[in-house]
A and B are shown apart, each in its own frame.
Chain A
Amino acid sequence: MGGFILRRSLLAIPVVIGAISILFVLFFMIPGDPVTLISGGGGAREVNEQTRANIEAKYGLDDPWFVQYKDYWGRTLSGDLGVSYKSNQSVNDIVKQTVAASGRLAFWAILIEVFIGIGAGILSAVRRYSFLDGLTTISTAAVSAIPVFVLGYLLQRVFGVIPAKNGWPEWATFPVQGIGPDTWVLGVIPTGDQWKYLVLPAITLASVSTAIVARLTRTTMLEVTRADYMRTALAKGLRERSVIFRHGLRNAMIPVVTLIGIDFATLFGSAILTETVFNWPGMGSELASALGSRDVPIVLGLTLVIVLIYVFINLLVDLSYAWFDPRIRSTIAEDS
Chain B
Amino acid sequence: MTTRSTYLRLATAAVVGSLLLGACSSDGDSASTDTSSGSDTSSASSAGEPVVGGTLVDLQNFSAGEPAHIDPSLASELQGAQIGALLYDGLTEFDFTDSKNPELKGAVAEEYAANDTADEFTFTMRDSVNFSDGTPVTPSSFKAAWERANDPEIASDLSYLFLPIQGATEMQEGDVTELSGVVADDEAGTLVVTLTEPFADFPAVVSHPAFSPMPEAAIAAGADWEKDVMVGNGPFAMQEAFAPGAQEIVLVRNDDYWGGLMGHNAYVDEIQFKISKDIDSAYNDFEAGNGQTAAIPSGQFAIATETYPNATEPSLGLYYFAFNDEDSQVGGEANVKLRQAISMAIDRESINAAVYDGSRRMPSGITPPGVPGFEDGLCGDLCSYDPEAAKALYDEWVADGGALDDAISVQFNAGAGHEDVVNIIQANLADNLGIEIQADGRDSTNYFTEMREGQCVFCRAGWIWDYPVYDNAMYALTDSASIDGDNLARYSNPEVDAAIQEARSTLDDEARGKLYADAERTVLQNMNIVPLNWYAGNIVYDETVQNYLYTPLQFTLYEELWLKS
Using CB atoms and an 8 Å cutoff, list the residues of chain A in contact with chain B. Answer: 31-33, 36, 38-46, 48, 50-51, 54-55, 86-89, 94, 97-98, 129, 131, 134-135, 137-139, 142, 146, 153-154, 156-158, 160-167, 173, 175-179, 275-279, 281, 285-286, 288-289, 294
Contacts and interface: CB of A to CB of B under 8 A. Distances in A.
Contacts of A135: 12, 16
Contacts of A288: 277
Given A32-B445, A51-B155, A175-B290, A156 B13 contact: no
B452 interface: yes
A176 B173 CA distance: 49
Interface residues of B, number: 63
Give the dominant DSSP class at A's interface. helix
Given A33-B446, A289-B66, A177 B276 contact: yes
Contact of A86 (B20, B68, B172): B68
A38 B156 CA distance: 10
B8 to A, nearest CB: 6
Contacts of B277: 275-277, 279, 285, 288-289
Nearest to A34: B445
Interface string B155-197: 1110110000000000011100000000000000000000000
A88 B448 CA distance: 25
Contact of B33 (A87, A97, A165): A165
Nearest to A155: B23
Given A129-B5, A279-B277, 8 more contacts: A50-B172, A134-B5, A138-B16, A156-B288, A163-B288, A165-B30, A178-B247, A289-B277
Contacts of B159: 48, 51
B174 to A, nearest CB: 6
A142 B14 CA distance: 12
Contacts of A51: 152, 155, 159, 172
B406 interface: no
Interface stretch (B91-99, B201-209, B252-260, B279-287): B279-287
B26 interface: yes
B508 interface: no
B345 interface: no
B69 interface: yes
Q: Which of B16, B66, B281 has the most CB of A within 10 A?
A: B281
Interface string B400-411: 000000000000
Contact of A31 (B33, B156, B446): B446
A39 B31 contact: no
A154 B20 CA distance: 9
A158 B281 CA distance: 13
Contacts of B448: 43-44
26 contacts: A33-B446, A33-B449, A40-B156, A45-B157, A46-B485, A50-B152, A51-B159, A54-B153, A54-B174, A94-B245, A131-B8, A134-B12, A157-B23, A157-B27, A160-B285, A161-B284, A161-B288, A164-B289, A165-B31, A176-B285, A176-B290, A177-B276, A178-B247, A178-B274, A179-B247, A277-B280
A277 B152 CA distance: 38
A134 B9 contact: yes
Interface string B432-465: 0000000000010110110010000000011100
Nearest to A89: B244
Contact of A41 (B27, B33, B157): B157
Given A50-B152, A129-B5, A156 B12 contact: no
Contact of B24 (A88, A97, A129, A154): A154
Nearest to A280: B277
Nearest to B171: A50
B65 interface: yes
B446 A176 contact: no
A276 B63 CA distance: 12
A279 B26 contact: no
A39 B157 CA distance: 6
A165 B287 CA distance: 8
Contacts of B285: 160, 176-178
B16 A157 contact: no
Contacts of A278: 281
Interface string B3-18: 0010011001100110
Contacts of B20: 142, 146, 154
Contact of B281 (A129, A134, A156): A156
Given A97-B245, A154-B23, A46 B68 contact: no
Contact of A277 (B30, B247, B278, B486): B278
A161 B174 contact: no
Listed from nearest, the 3 A-B pairs whose CB atoms lie closest are: A40-B157, A32-B445, A176-B285
Nearest to B464: A44
Given A131-B8, A289-B277, A40 B74 contact: yes
B32 interface: yes
Given A40-B74, A134-B5, A165-B33, A88 B485 contact: no
Contacts of B462: 44
B76 interface: yes
Nearest to A47: B157
A84 to B, nearest CB: 8
B68 A40 contact: yes
B223 interface: yes
A36 B5 CA distance: 63
Contacts of B31: 165-166
Contact of B445 (A138, A158, A279, A294): A294
A164 B173 contact: no
A281 B30 contact: no
A281 B8 contact: no
Contacts of A160: 284-285, 288
Given A134-B8, A156-B281, A44 B65 contact: no
B288 A176 contact: yes
Contact of B23 (A33, A44, A45, A158): A158
Nearest to A275: B277
Contacts of A48: 159-160, 172
Contacts of A40: 68-69, 74, 76-77, 156-157
B155 A39 contact: yes
Given A88-B223, A276-B277, A162 B26 contact: yes
Q: Which of B8, B155, B448, B452 has the most CB of A within 10 A?
A: B155
